[in-house]
Structure 1
Amino acid sequence: MRGLWLGLGGLFLGLGLLGVVLPVLPTTPFLLLAAGCFARSSPRLHGWLLAHPLFGPPIRDWEENGAISRKAKRLALGSMAAVLLVSVVAGLSWKVLLAQAVLIAVGGAFILTRPDGRSE
């Protein structure tokens, strides 16, 4: 089972690192998943992620307090709004727009109800 967690952690870490350079791929959720997987399989890799100067603080905020920084909240909500706007401009069907709007509303509500993390 440890090998499965380690493999998933590596996959999610890779996807998170791709998200740094690809604007359509989120970074933080994949890094949070990687940290969770590494916590179950590799204390060394989990510790490395937590100690990383860029990736560590949001992961620690989440693990310790279930918190998301205000900056991350603004970025996430802005990205969600931009995706919905692009979909409207692209002329997607009302069914697709409705599904997107509902999912974005649920995701946005989750984000907004999390405590604020440490200031950047």
Structure 2
Amino acid sequence: MAKIRTGRVGEQIKKELSLLIQTELKDPRVGFITVTGVDVTNDLSQAKIYLSVLGDEEQKDNSLKALAKANGFLRSELGKRIRLRHVPELIFKIDESIAYGSRIEKLLSDIGTDESK
């Protein structure tokens, strides 16, 4: 039962955070960010937000710093949009799975072109 609720809360946080980052956040350090996933603890005290950032490592670092700076604003806006007694603490992490998947796909395509020769 608790896993169903944390899943629903996580999806709602993902949806609202995506909208907030794209529309409300005015920090120029924030690049093109996609919220790829949200893991919420069972007691809803913490939420790990996984982000995919378009750009190099410097762009990723700048985006993470800007989001850490705007953490209070994002939590307060989430509290207004999602009716929760306590808004979870937001922990932002870079999601490397997309880059890892594209690297694997590139390696597999390279193997395929080598075998066709």
Q: Return the TM-score normalized by structure 2.
A: 0.29
Q: Which has the higher strand share?
A: 2
More relative contact order, 1 or 2 (CA 8 Å, 6+ apart): 2
- Bigger radius of gyration among the two: 2
Q: Which has the higher helix share?
A: 1
